[in-house]
Structure 1
Amino acid sequence: MTEQPTTPNPDRTDLATITYVHGAGPATDSSPADAAPALGGKTEATDRAAVVESARRVLEGTVTPAPAELEKPTDLDLDAFDDRPLIPAWAKTPEGWAMYSGVLYRSRLRAYRRWVRRQRTDRGHAAQFKRGSRRVQDWVTGFEGIQTQALAHQAYVAAKEARGAAKTARFTPALMKNKKEVALREADRTQTVAMQAVAAHKKAKSYRRKLRALRAGAAYGPPLAAITGGYVEAGAFGASAGLLATFSGGAFAGRHLVTEETDWSADWRSLGDGDPMSAPMLDEVFRHAKVIGSDESLHMVQMPMLDARGAWSAVIDLPPGIPARKAMRAISEIASALGVDDAQVNMVKTKGKGARSGRLEIYVAKQLPFTEKADPGPLLALEAATNFWGRIAVGPDVRGLPISISVVERSGLVGGEPGAGKSASGNVILLAAALDPRVILWLADGKAGGDLEPFAELCEYFEGDADPEAFYEMLKAAVADMKARYALLKKLGKRKVTEELANKYPLLRQKLLWVDELMFYTTDDEFGKKITKLLRNLVSRGRAAGIVTFCATQKPGSDVVDTSLRDLLSIRWALRCTTPEASDTILGKGAAAAGYSAKTIEPEMRGAGLLWAEGSNPTLVRADYYSDDEVELLCKRAYDLRDAAGTLPDGPKTLADQLREKGEADADVLAVLVDVFNAYDQAAKEDDAAGEVDWLPGSVLVDALKAAGIEITPEKLGRLVVREAEEKKKRAWADSTSALNGFPLAALLRTVQSKYGLTA
């Protein structure tokens, strides 16, 4: 057993911990042992001998330890502390202070080594200062240069057009008065546009200079003032202090890394991750899409710009030898590299002046287009009548710009899967035609679902029961009307119907033939081929006669619509399709391979489709949407307009009225003869219900014609109404004492049929 006092004081009797040596046990000798002297004090030789003897006894196990009585304090408060800090006493010794100094030295040394290693990375102070300087310079430069560059390009193009127009006006001979006036007006217009563009460019340059000067003063003024002031006050030492302060400020500005400053190839990010579109990004995108080679790059015609809708757009030139259609075929790969959906990427070839085979305009929407709520259609705000001879607004494109088409001398095909929005798309054209009181409506609903019912009161001919036979009769009447139109045009010496002719001659009013669900009619076993033949005749020949034909169906394959008919429909509107092949049946073979496939239209994009009406490329357009209540409201407005204009359909017309609509002298003669026969026939039926009149004397007919203001001789009447030999026999008439020459009703009807294709 050993005792060790915590202090050199020999009077302290607190014992240290008792430890038994391995192998020793409790002693059996109960004799009291001499107490060992306290260690650490001054002892004599005898005292050392006593200590040695006590240690020997402990090792031999002959010492019995006295029981230690430990008193447990009852008033101990663990939360009570004195005023001394919680630092052990040895920490305040020289050894403790030395240890603290060593720890501090080693930590500072390690920190210095880390700082030295960091200077070679992008987090070093030099790199931070470089990054901060670049950010400050970017802030000083601002974004006004993009607008100035665009205005400069516009001014250049406008000035070039103005020079060309001025040259044309100068060298146009004065003898060509009309062309000279047109050229002078065009020169004035282009000169005005050029001057406005140049003025806008100068204004943008001045605005850019002012903003840059202000930002440059705010960014570079304080550092220059610090360096100059330091040099004036303290010479080189002050200048050095100013430079150090400038360096510190630049390093502080560039202390944080930003993702757009990282290398795209090393840290791949995309437009879908929120990164801004840039020229290096587009280069990498087109390389990953295998459109350009790894050592090729794009030429930026218009730098990437962000519009108010949050979408990015740019105009690029592909490397020489790479056509635009190669990139358009790889739209899925480009969308994947950009990190967006296929439907968000829209690429079209540029149009107008400066267009090239390898020049593309790329537009990337911020989110899936055409999924937001559609704006009210423009026809709702229109108070006057529409003009079906002009352009028809169909809806916005992906950029939000309104798209309009002209249907004059055109025909169209609208197709897509069920629920894609064919009815809504058709309403755009039908409502525009209905609100023009001059347009004649002939509608056929192969679905018999009631989509066309609101237009029934406005139609001259309406087939809403999905009856192929009734539709066949409608087409026969349409072909007969087309022949009558061409007969009148031939008489007038005109080649085709114009708006002036249509306003002057009611027979030549524009006619819209709309066929919904064409598949039901063309696949009928009995009338399918006949309907296809008449439609082909009407589409191929009717456009110059003022007849506009539109067909709507789900999938216009060759088994539904014969290719000889489908290829004649010039306006194509492909709504969402399930396969690229189905899209090609609407847009034409090879459209999907060229990058125009309605398969990429998502189901959420209701009413959106690829419209190929004008130009060389289809355009993604969403039709203006009109609810059922709005359609009924517009149809009521169209009814009022037609009622005021006197163009409401009158129902079935008599044979005489149909003849008068031809606008010919012979037709007017025949119309009077038909009326005379009807009058005598009605008089005969009043006397006898079974009575009828099938023959009238020529003198009676000539007198009726003179009463109607038509002077005609019997000989001319005989040449007009050709009779057979038996029909020339004389007959008795009323109180006449002798037989008279006359004309049978059969000869009159035969003449009407052969000359105008009309039947009673």
Structure 2
Amino acid sequence: MTEMPTGPSHKSTDLATVTYVHGAGPATKTSPGPAAPALGGTTETTDRAAVVESARRVLEGTVTPAPAEVEKVDIDLDAFDDRPLIPAWAKTPEGWAMYSGVVYRSRLRAYRRWVRRQRTDRGHAAQFKRGARRVQDWVTGFEGIQTQALAHQAHVAAKEARAAARAARYTPSLMKNKKQTALREADRTQTVAMQAVNAHKQAKNYRRKLRALRAGAAYGPPLTAISTGYMGAGALGATAGALATFAGGAFAGREAITEETDWSADWRSLGDGDPMSAPMLDEVFRRAKVIGADETLHMVQMPMLDARGAWSAVIDLPPGIPAKKAMRAISEIASALGVEDAQVNMVKTKGKGARSGRLEIYVAKELPFTENAEPGPLLALEAATNFWGRIAIGPDVRGLAISISVVERSGLVGGEPGAGKSASGNVILLAAALDPRVILWLADGKAGGDLEPFRELCEYFEGDADPEAFYEMLKAAVADMRARYALLKKLGKRKVTEELANKYPQLRQKLLWVDELMFYTTDDDFGKKITKLLRNLVSRGRAAGIVTFCATQKPGSDVVDTSLRDLLSIRWALRCTTPEASDTILGKGAAAAGYSAKTIEPEMRGAGLLWAEGSNPVLVRADYYTDDQVELLCKRAYDLREAAGTLPEGPKTLADQLRDKGEADADVLAVLVDVFNAYDQEAKEVDATGEVDWLPGTILVDALKAAGLDITPEKLARLVVREADEKGKRVWEDSPSALNGYPLKAVLRAVQSKYGLTA
């Protein structure tokens, strides 16, 4: 570009601006002349004079420009103008669109950053809720309080007016002064009541109007915005109106409501629905005073959910803190977790990697053992059970099946009334009944119907709550125990095994079940005797194949002697009313170690702490069988025993009991008892009151020889010892002279002294 005067002699100086456009041709004169090359191109030295001459002619105005044809070329958008680093395409529509998009996105991001910088308490949704609540509180106002007060005044005034009117009506006319006074009082109270009622109505109308006005002011704009937006722009407009409403509500709820700033804002628990985490467990154990304020737990297994929706974790307590300290504080830990005591289960880890301070904590989602029990496994069992193996008891809090072995063991089941002792006992009784090899001896101390379904399967059954009958049962059991040990000595064995029991029917397993032991042991006449025999049976009968189980409500020392209670190795504590009662079942110190049946809730029927195997009790619920299911299983047990030939033969006679001893002297005494019974029955056929209490020795010796027992009168006299007054001779039927004989009581005395059996 060059600026020059248009002429050498003009007074005014007019400047002409010449711009050379890339690609355009040079200006020409009216007459043809040489064309100048385009500026910016490469020219030779010989062409420069022509270019300068052409420019001079144009500046002098001697050349009239002619219309030039400009060739249309594509613009290079990467070219730059005189402003630095601004491409030419920025001025195109595409460039303006891109620039607008950049501005829009940057403004949107700036707006979002501004929103995030705003003060919120628990998020914008909670802020909008507070705003909506504040708006609603403003709409409601305080007029309702005044209206309610006026309503109360109107009610009181109307009540007083009715009372005054009643008094005026029933005041006798003869009492003029009182009548007039009552009438005036009735008029006054009626006027006051009407005024109070009118004031209440006015207050209600005033409240209604104000609320309507405030509701219109509060809810009118949002509804108008949403409806107008919907009619104008459809769903997009309605959305814009809703967002504007949300923004207004959030603005109104900027400040937190005072009543919301409670402990829950800072402290949440598992019971509030929060997931279990390592920080939560740290805080829980701190609040429970198990660990110090500056101590933390070591997570061996991070908290996780199982298939039942319960949380579990394995933790290590800080050094120097034993696991039993945490187990003693189970109530405090449950409180800090926000759940019931029964929902928390803590046990020491077992097996490889176990430590004194390592705990496995399990928190159930709901209170365990409150749902309907699943059908017991015995219902699906078609074959016989094996009482020598493990017995299925029921599930624990995690749903895992728990089983125990009762071989060479004895047990105690205790708990408050209604805790589920009968249902728990059925688990063991049904397992024993369905094994046709097991001999059942049952005693029911409450004379109820719980054990009645098992009566036909029992060899010995005492269902009348008779302490004397139970005492006789225990005597028979002790005698059987002695016979078992005698047979074991002959076989050279120390204890009964499954192989020996299968080979020798006399050594079959025997289950002695005593329900409501308290009734028997507290009897004035037989209580101490029963305790002594039962202690003898529990302490010595295990190796002989006799399993004893006792069930009672409160097995204290006044009910069960401690020397007997300590021998019962399997303990099952159902719900108890006190920790001390729980300790009488599980043992002293169990409650202090964190195992107390007091924590079992009443809704958890059939649940109890079972201490059978291992170092710690386990919370287990016994498998539940209905009455119909118990009868069905007992019928199945009857069929199994009938097929195996082990059904009880009913009460055995004294002679049969003697023959079961398998000894020569017992066989002799059995024949003598049979002979006396035969003569006695023959005498009763002649005379109903007749009886035979003495027989000649010759008749007894002949009967023994007929039975294949070769015994001399001298040997018989040594076996059946007679007292001095029993040796006298008597006349027998048609015998010509008196004969020597034996009285029945001498025979029975010999049976009792030698074998402990009574008629």
How high is the TM-score relative to the length of structure 1?
A: 0.62
Larger radius of gyration: 2
Kept in 1: contact 2:414–2:555 (CA 8 A):
yes
Alignment-derived partner of residue 399 in structure 2 = 400
In structure 2, how many angstroms separate the alpha carbons of the residues matched to 1:500 and 1:702? Answer: 41
Alignment-derived partner of residue 612 in structure 1 = 611
SS at match of 1:412: strand
Change (3 A) 1:562 1:593: same
SS at match of 1:543: coil
Name the stretch that deviates more: 704-713 or 341-350. Answer: 704-713
In structure 1, how many angstroms separate the alpha carbons of the residues matched to 2:434 and 2:113? Answer: 80
Alignment-derived partner of residue 499 in structure 1 = 498
1:577 aligns with 2:580: no
SS at match of 1:460: strand
Kept in 1: contact 2:600–2:607 (CA 8 A):
yes
Letter in 2 for 1:409: E
Letter in 1 for 2:365: K
Letter in 1 for 2:675: V
Alignment-derived partner of residue 561 in structure 1 = 560
Kept in 2: contact 1:388–1:432 (CA 8 A):
yes
In structure 1, how many angstroms separate the alpha carbons of the residues matched to 2:570 and 2:746? Answer: 45
In structure 2, how many angstroms separate the alpha carbons of the residues matched to 1:116 and 1:344? Answer: 43
Displacement of 1:729 after TM fit? Answer: 7.2
- Aligned pairs (5 A) from 1:235-634: 267-634=266-633
Change (3 A) 1:432 1:297: same
In structure 2, how many angstroms separate the alpha carbons of the residues matched to 1:381 and 1:744? Answer: 58
Alignment-derived partner of residue 236 in structure 1 = none
Name the stretch that deviates more: 301-310 or 365-374. Answer: 301-310
Percent identity of paired positions between Structure 1 and Structure 2: 91
In structure 2, how many angstroms separate the alpha carbons of the residues matched to 1:383 and 1:315? Answer: 40
Kept in 2: contact 1:532–1:562 (CA 8 A):
yes
In structure 2, how many angstroms separate the alpha carbons of the residues matched to 1:459 and 1:493? Answer: 30
Kept in 2: contact 1:386–1:432 (CA 8 A):
yes
In structure 1, how many angstroms separate the alpha carbons of the residues matched to 2:500 and 2:632? Answer: 31
Alignment-derived partner of residue 49 in structure 2 = none
Displacement of 1:413 after TM fit? Answer: 1.4
CA deviation digits over 1:572-629, x for unaligned, max 9? 1111112211211211111110000111111111111101111111000000000111
Change (3 A) 1:540 1:119: same
CA deviation digits over 1:422-460, x for unaligned, max 9? 111111111112212222222222222322222222222
SS at match of 1:519: helix
In structure 2, how many angstroms separate the alpha carbons of the residues matched to 1:585 and 1:518? Answer: 14
SS at match of 1:286: helix
Displacement of 1:647 after TM fit? Answer: 2.5
In structure 2, how many angstroms separate the alpha carbons of the residues matched to 1:454 and 1:333? Answer: 45
In structure 2, how many angstroms separate the alpha carbons of the residues matched to 1:691 and 1:108? Answer: 122
Alignment-derived partner of residue 636 in structure 1 = 635
- Aligned pairs (5 A) from 1:103-118: 115=114, 118=117
Aligned residues: 515
Name the stretch that deviates more: 672-681 or 732-741. Answer: 732-741
SS at match of 1:346: strand
Kept in 2: contact 1:412–1:551 (CA 8 A):
yes
Segments of structure 2 that go 5 or more residues without pairing to the other structure are 1-102, 123-262
Displacement of 1:366 after TM fit? Answer: 1.5
Displacement of 1:119 after TM fit? Answer: 12
Name the stretch that deviates more: 735-744 or 271-280. Answer: 735-744
Letter in 1 for 2:485: Y
Letter in 2 for 1:604: E
Alignment-derived partner of residue 695 in structure 1 = 695
In structure 2, how many angstroms separate the alpha carbons of the residues matched to 1:571 and 1:375? Answer: 25
In structure 2, how many angstroms separate the alpha carbons of the residues matched to 1:646 and 1:754? Answer: 32
CA deviation digits over 1:3-27, x for unaligned, max 9? xxxxxxxxxxxxxxxxxxxxxxxxx
SS at match of 2:541: helix
CA deviation digits over 1:83-117, x for unaligned, max 9? xxxxxxxxxxxxxxxxxxxxx9xx98996897599
Change (3 A) 1:429 1:714: same
Displacement of 1:120 after TM fit? Answer: 14
Change (3 A) 1:495 1:116: closer
CA deviation digits over 1:35-58, x for unaligned, max 9? xxxxxxxxxxxxxxxxxxxxxxxx
Change (3 A) 1:691 1:563: closer
Letter in 1 for 2:650: G
Segments of structure 1 that go 5 or more residues without pairing to the other structure are 1-103, 124-263
Name the stretch that deviates more: 379-388 or 298-307. Answer: 298-307
Displacement of 1:561 after TM fit? Answer: 2.2
Name the stretch that deviates more: 544-553 or 680-689. Answer: 680-689
How high is the TM-score relative to the length of structure 2?
A: 0.62
Indicate the RMSD between aligned Cα atoms, in angstroms: 3.5
Alignment-derived partner of residue 256 in structure 2 = none
Change (3 A) 1:116 1:628: closer
- Aligned pairs (5 A) from 1:713-752: 716-723=715-722, 744-752=743-751
In structure 1, how many angstroms separate the alpha carbons of the residues matched to 2:502 and 2:730? Answer: 47
In structure 1, how many angstroms separate the alpha carbons of the residues matched to 2:111 and 2:648? Answer: 96
Displacement of 1:326 after TM fit? Answer: 0.6
Letter in 2 for 1:414: V
Letter in 2 for 1:581: E
Kept in 1: contact 2:697–2:713 (CA 8 A):
no
SS at match of 2:274: coil
CA deviation digits over 1:33-82, x for unaligned, max 9? xxxxxxxxxxxxxxxxxxxxxxxxxxxxxxxxxxxxxxxxxxxxxxxxxx
Alignment-derived partner of residue 75 in structure 2 = none
Alignment-derived partner of residue 228 in structure 2 = none
Kept in 1: contact 2:676–2:692 (CA 8 A):
no
In structure 2, how many angstroms separate the alpha carbons of the residues matched to 1:475 and 1:675? Answer: 26
Kept in 2: contact 1:680–1:693 (CA 8 A):
no
Displacement of 1:314 after TM fit? Answer: 1.9
